[in-house]
Chain A
């Protein structure tokens, strides 16, 4: 009864997933450059981040087209269909994360070559970048392993990032009366905001893992109803 069927299709689907999730590695690379550029006010590196975003956008288009072709020619259903729907979302998240890096990179020249930088505030931003890197890698691993627990754990990671974001805000308030310093701190708040959004996108990837495995889509944390019980554990055993 058990015959290995639709071999090419299965290969295609597996390769599609790999290519899509490798997009998260592209984001990590871009994020690392972005944070380094922020840390050292490196305008050239920032320009590289902006230029290289085309690679992430290209990956997005490539996966998008491959998904359309697969939908049109293979009529995927059940877990396959959920995988494809999840990958569409994940690619969009990847593309958004890349754009946030670009947003940050564009802020660096505004701050100038030699801004009145504050080491403490920069330290928070670098810590945010480190936490987000861990978060993105964890999101990828959770997706590949179909591990809902690991995906839900991204929320915990995200709380760390949100706290750092608040620390940035506090520090920016305390930064003093000097005009240039205040301007720099406000620019860094935009950087912190963009980083925080990247973290949210990583959590969104985790939500897609839960959808893929359980067939249910629920936000892990509902921003409009904070503090409410997040998505319950899947009660029944998940389909293969």
Chain B
């Protein structure tokens, strides 16, 4: 995969216009100027996962409901981090805070810091669109744009960020290749995206996320709507992509966490109970509540 690298760069704070959710604290970012995404292409080379994501005392609310309660957690580059926990424990909410999807929900707000390397993505002067370009997301249900062809689906994000027309085809092909879909769709790139199987649609969504060269890929139960074979394909893909982007995956399937994740974090009632190497979490967890959950005594 040949991807150009962009970097977080300092831009003019005047240019950043971004809705702030009510109740969110003023920017705690230490940088005097606001970080932005540079559109200047860096040297063309393979993507490599290099960026850390660090949550510092992250709280998230839905109105008065305190859904995430002071989570401190790091996502390491080259690593897949799985977040497990029973329904309603706040794992999806936590992940959605990373690319600021959480604040889109009416009444929702968050506190604390989400650092991409040393830049606080929640700082008031950060462009939320830029954040979502750097932090891609794949959802539970494959959601290709229904009226668009396969290649237009992947190109949509590229067009949005103003990629020169001449480059789009190359980057679409490269993203489809990267998502392990190229050989299956190369002869029907102009067919509708919705004509693909569920598993292919999900890989199409991964290709769409990859096309804009994210540094981080969030996956919120990416396989829960897929059959076992499609699931294994996505899991294999995750194994390849972790070298290229920092990956966080929310999953209800503990075997899946066991198969794909290097690190597993267990959440309960909005709190991070335990985080550690996946093998340890599934053979000899430190916390009793983790033990109870992974052995299926509740959840």
Q: List chain A positions with a Cβ less than 8 A from chain B.
A: 1-6, 9, 75-82, 215, 236, 239-240
Contact = CB atoms under 8 A, between A and B. Distances in A.
B269 to A, nearest CB: 8
A240 B298 CA distance: 14
A75 B286 CA distance: 20
B298 A78 contact: no
B288 A240 contact: yes
A9 B295 CA distance: 10
A163 B218 CA distance: 63
B194 interface: no
Contact of A78 (B255, B295, B299): B295
B232 to A, nearest CB: 16
B298 to A, nearest CB: 5
Contacts of B189: none
B285 interface: yes
Contacts of A80: 295
A77 B283 contact: yes
B298 A5 contact: yes
B290 to A, nearest CB: 8
Interface residues of B, number: 19
A82 B283 contact: yes
A82 B297 contact: no
Interface string B258-283: 10000000000100000000000011
B148 interface: no
A213 B284 CA distance: 10
A239 B284 CA distance: 8
B296 A6 contact: yes
Nearest to B283: A81
B56 interface: no
B296 A79 contact: no
A3 B298 CA distance: 5
A5 B294 contact: no
Q: Closest 4 A-B residue pairs measured CB to CB?
A: A215-B284, A6-B296, A77-B282, A77-B294
Contacts of A5: 296-299
A19 B134 CA distance: 56
Contacts of B282: 77-78, 81
A75 B296 CA distance: 10
B299 to A, nearest CB: 7
Contact of A215 (B258, B283, B288, B296): B283
Contact of A75 (B255, B292, B299): B255
Contacts of B269: 1
Contact of B295 (A1, A77, A215): A77
Nearest to A211: B284
B237 interface: no
Contact of B288 (A6, A76, A239): A239
Contact of B296 (A2, A9, A236, A240): A9
A178 B288 CA distance: 66
Contacts of B254: 75, 77
A229 B291 CA distance: 31
B85 to A, nearest CB: 12
A174 B150 CA distance: 91
A78 B294 contact: yes
B61 to A, nearest CB: 21
Contacts of B297: 4-6
Contacts of A75: 254-255
Given A6-B296, A75-B254, 15 more contacts: A1-B298, A4-B297, A5-B299, A9-B296, A77-B254, A77-B258, A77-B295, A78-B282, A78-B291, A78-B294, A81-B282, A82-B283, A239-B284, A239-B285, A240-B288
A52 B73 CA distance: 58
A188 B24 CA distance: 83
Interface string B228-255: 0000000000000000000000000011
Given A215-B284, A239-B284, A239-B285, A79 B298 contact: no
Nearest to A214: B284
A146 B95 CA distance: 39
A76 B290 CA distance: 14
Contacts of B255: 75
Contacts of B283: 77-78, 81-82, 215
A77 B283 CA distance: 6
A73 B106 CA distance: 43
Given A75-B255, A239-B291, A2 B284 contact: no
